[in-house]
């Protein structure tokens, strides 16, 4: 089945959240094909279902000074940051009907997350960046030997694993996915100082930290489109 891919540019978080609801309802009714939304957000911190308010480090005055919005949302995971220079993808994909307990089989839900990770890992490999998964954690990570190449990172962090892409999803009652992935292309990394990302102490990096020059946002979008369709069109 073909996937519709929409580039929404820079869009307010709440507006994009509502669009997901609208489009997912249409997909469930068979009125819209599976859809991937690609976009960037203005500065925002979002907390998932496992969110812990203590992982927000900046106070209300600092948030206002930096023009950061905050939202508690219905995806998995804890707190993360979105902002200009970060490519966000919201796949709206029908994974199948729920069982009698209104749940997807565990393999379907976890398998979907693993596919998102594998797509991003393949994309990064095309840029010459070796990355991978970590047991018990979602997202895409680079090892210390790759992190040591970081141009702007703190010396004490270069010997640690670092996250380059985050994943947090929801599957609604109709089996349609919401939310998705966020790949750090060239965002202002100072905004990560305001949170403990996903409640974890490992550092966060971007493509621009590891590549000189970094690929443009437009180039990354084109590469994501191809990688996403390769992974998902054959399974729908």
Q: Mind listing the pLDDT tens digit for each residue in 123-141?
A: 999 999 999 998 888 999 9
Are the beta carbons of 45 and 55 closer than 8 angstroms? no
Distance CA 139, CA 134 (A): 8
Burial of 112 (0-12, 13-18, 19+ CB in 10 A): buried
Distance CA 39, CA 83 (A): 10
Are the beta carbons of 231 and 91 closer than 8 angstroms? no
Of 76-90, 139-153, 185-199, 201-215, the range with the lowest mean pLDDT is 139-153
User: pLDDT by residue (tens digit) across 167-181?
Assistant: 999 998 888 999 999
Distance CA 41, CA 9 (A): 8
Question: Of 3.40.50.10790, 3.30.930.10, 3.40.50.2000, 3.10.530.10, which CATH number belongs to 4-235?
Answer: 3.30.930.10
User: pLDDT by residue (tens digit) across 72-127?
Assistant: 998 988 899 999 999 999 999 998 765 666 555 554 888 899 999 999 999 999 99
Domain ranges of the chain: 4-235
Average pLDDT over residues 140-156: 76
Distance CA 120, CA 37 (A): 16
How far lies 234's CA from each of 34, 58, 128, 228, in Å?
12, 44, 26, 10
- 54's CB contacts (< 8 A; 6+ apart) are none
Using the CB atoms, write b or e for 48-87: b if 16+ within 10 Å.
Answer: beebeeebbebeeeebeeeebebeebebbbbbbbbbebbb
- 28's CB contacts (< 8 A; 6+ apart) are 94, 172, 174, 175, 176
Distance CA 45, CA 60 (A): 12
- 155's CB contacts (< 8 A; 6+ apart) are none
Going 85 to 181 to 193 to 45, the CA torsion angle's sign is: positive
Average pLDDT over residues 39-55: 93
Residues catalogued as catalytic: 198
Query: What is the reported pTM?
Result: 0.92
Q: What 3 state SS string does 95-110 have?
A: CCCCCCCCCCCHHHHH
With a cut of 70, say whether residue 1 has pLDDT above it: no
Q: Please choose, from the candidates 194, 214, 213, the residue with its C-alpha nearest in 3D space to the C-alpha of residue 63.
A: 194
pLDDT at residue number 173? 83
Are the beta carbons of 60 and 68 closer than 8 angstroms? no
């Amino acid at each position: 089945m073909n996937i519709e891919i929409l580039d929404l540019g820079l869009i307010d978080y709440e507006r994009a959240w509502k669009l997901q609801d609208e489009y997912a309802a249409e997909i469930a009714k068979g009125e819209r094909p599976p859809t991937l939304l690609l976009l960037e957000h203005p500065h925002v911190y979002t907390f998932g279902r496992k969110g812990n308010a203590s992982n927000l480090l900046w106070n209300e005055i600092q948030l206002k000074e930096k023009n950061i919005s905050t939202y508690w949302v219905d995806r998995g995971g804890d707190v993360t940051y979105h902002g200009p220079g970060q490519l966000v993808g919201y796949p709206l994909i029908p994974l199948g009907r729920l069982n009698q307990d209104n749940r997807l089989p565990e393999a379907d839900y976890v398998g979907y997350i693993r596919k998102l990770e594998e797509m991003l890992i393949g994309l990064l490999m095309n840029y010459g960046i070796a990355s991978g998964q970590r047991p018990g954690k979602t997202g895409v990570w680079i090892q210390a030997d790759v992190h040591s190449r970081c141009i702007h990172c703190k010396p004490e962090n270069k010997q640690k694993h670092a996250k380059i892409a985050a994943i947090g999803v929801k599957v609604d009652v109709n089996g349609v996915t919401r939310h998705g992935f966020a790949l750090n292309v060239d965002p202002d990394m100072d905004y990560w100082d305001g949170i403990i990302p996903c409640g974890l102490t490992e550092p966060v990096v971007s493509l621009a930290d590891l590549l000189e020059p970094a690929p443009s946002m437009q180039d990354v979008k084109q590469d994501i489109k191809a990688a996403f369709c390769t992974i998902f069109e054959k399974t729908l």
